[in-house]
Amino acid sequence: MSVNPYPLGLRLAGLRVVVVGGGAVATRRVPALLDAGADVLLVAPELTPALRAHADAARLHWVPRRFVADDLDGAWLVHVAVDDPTAAAEVSAAAVARRIFCVRADDRHAATAWTPAVTRYGPVTVAVHGGGDPRRAMTVRDALRTLLRARAAPLLADPVDLPTGGPGRVALVGAGPGDPELITVKGWRLLTEADVVVADRLVPGLLLDELRTGVELVDASKIPYGPSRAQEEINRILVDRALGGAFVVRLKGGDPYVFGRGGEELLACAAAGVPVTVVPGVTSSIAAPGAAGIPVTHRSVAHEFTVVSGHVAPDSPESLVRWDALAGLRGTLVILMGLKNLPVITATLLDHGRPADTPAAVVQEATTGGQRIVRSTLGAVAADTTAAGLRPPAVVVVGDVVTALDLAGYRG
């Protein structure tokens, strides 16, 4: 007769957990133990590079030899992550003798504890045991993960209950380059929890369609070279709503700090005593080239890349960019917000020695259904972009990486 396991959540902070084995299974198990705050002792003659990195960073203690029974002294739990049944049985016997629960990767029937299939949603952890069948457990776990994401609610996220009239909080959330699925899991979770959302023009519209009923949506669109809401007004809205007790998400295209003025918003909140959480986003400076089949770095082609703003012309006294120095770099140059000034930018780079035949590309509305790509050279890209009718938002890439993957036939 089968016996059901007793479900239990172990609070392992500061407690010794022994992991025997340094291969793929241990590589999977150790991060969760470290996340739980366990004092991990890893016993194995050899380690995978990932485990070695944990050891080198002193996140765990590594004993580079085979297991001996005394390794379990003071332990609360042991994970056997070896595929040698004889060696695993030796660890099991030592654990039983010391009344220490033992997880065995090689034989779950010989173990005294099972590791469940786990999914996490903020502070909520769901652990599934499949009656000893790991495939069943993972299938159920995946279904529950989908359900949690579809049924997002404040109880599933970080607590935001705040005293009435007291200070709320602000989250600066990067929405990514345009595809709504490229927002981070944490960013999406906080968005579903918000009382107020202050959104830029470049955030994916489908994300706004998923907001809870009753959320106040503030359009903070900042259309290039056209009407805009002053940054000071955006700062004021963030502070006022938060001081009124609301949880405010400032949703920004790309990453909050990559030419997103997130630093100014954080400083304004800090000056008013409003706590701020920053959730990084996938920046278009890397995502747009990647979506077009252009790696910003590539072995033997480019070992560096530089990201600059092109919204101020190189010949303007307001420009803080050293275009003459950029012309002499051998790596990749990525230009954001530079479409209007592309003719003068390319002319400046050419005047300072960047070869006219340097590969160049422009990617419009990357990762969305409106994505378009113009591939050219530095000497011709401004004219080619105008002829193609490309419009903002667009990212310009200059460097040999533009053609680095051509032999693979991938063109974005």
Q: pLDDT tens for residues 291-318?
A: 999 999 999 999 999 999 999 999 888 8
> Would 82 be classed as within a structural domain?
yes
- Verify that 261 and 310 share a domain, yes or no: no
Query: Does residue 196 have a pLDDT over 50?
Result: yes
For 102-111, what is each residue's pLDDT tens digit? 999 999 889 9
Gap between the Cα atoms of 9 and 248, Å rounded: 33
149 lies in a domain? no
Q: Is residue 121 part of a domain?
A: no
> Is residue 122 a part of any domain in this protein?
no
Burial of 242 (0-12, 13-18, 19+ CB in 10 A): buried
pLDDT score recorded for residue 409: 64
Domain end call among 279, 300, 329:
279
> Of the ranges 117-126, 226-235, 245-254, 284-293, which one carries the lowest mean pLDDT score?
226-235
Token pair 């133990």: residue? 33
DSSP string for residues in 133-179: -HHHHHHHHHHHHHHHHHT--GGGSS-----TTS--EEEEEE-BSS-
Average pLDDT, the chain: 89
Q: Which domain holds residue 370?
A: 285-408
Residue 224 pLDDT greater than 70, yes or no:
no
Q: Identify whether residues 297 and 236 lie together within a single domain.
A: no
CATH of the domain at 28: 3.40.50.720
Same domain for 67 and 48: yes
Domain total of the chain: 3
Q: In terms of domains, do 293 and 396 share one?
A: yes
Looking at residue 271, its pLDDT comes to 97
Residue 375, in any domain of the structure: yes
> Which has more pLDDT, 337 or 219?
337
Phi, psi of 393 (to 5 degrees): -80, 140
Q: What is the pLDDT of residue 152?
A: 54
pLDDT at 183 over 80: yes
Domain boundary among 257, 279, 301: 279
Q: In this structure, are 270 and 293 located in the same domain?
A: no
pLDDT greater than 80 at residue 369: yes
Same domain for 241 and 305, yes or no, is no
Q: How far is residue 158 from each of residues 4, 124, 149, 230, measured CA to CA in Å?
A: 32, 9, 14, 31
Residues 381 and 361 in one domain: yes
Compute how many other C-beta atoms are within 10 angstroms of the C-beta atom of residue 49.
7
Within-domain flag for 131: no
Mark whether 193 and 248 lie in a shared domain: yes
In angstroms, the first-to-last Cα distance of the chain is 57
Q: Report the catalytic residues.
A: 200, 222
Q: What is the CATH number of the domain that holds 187?
A: 3.40.1010.10
Whether 148 maps to a domain, the answer reads no
Q: Helices (DSSP H) in 214-305: which residue ranges?
A: 231-243, 262-271, 284-291
Distance CA 28, CA 44 (A): 15
Q: Which of 81, 99, 115 is the last residue of a domain?
A: 115
Helix, strand or coil, per DSSP, at residue 16: strand
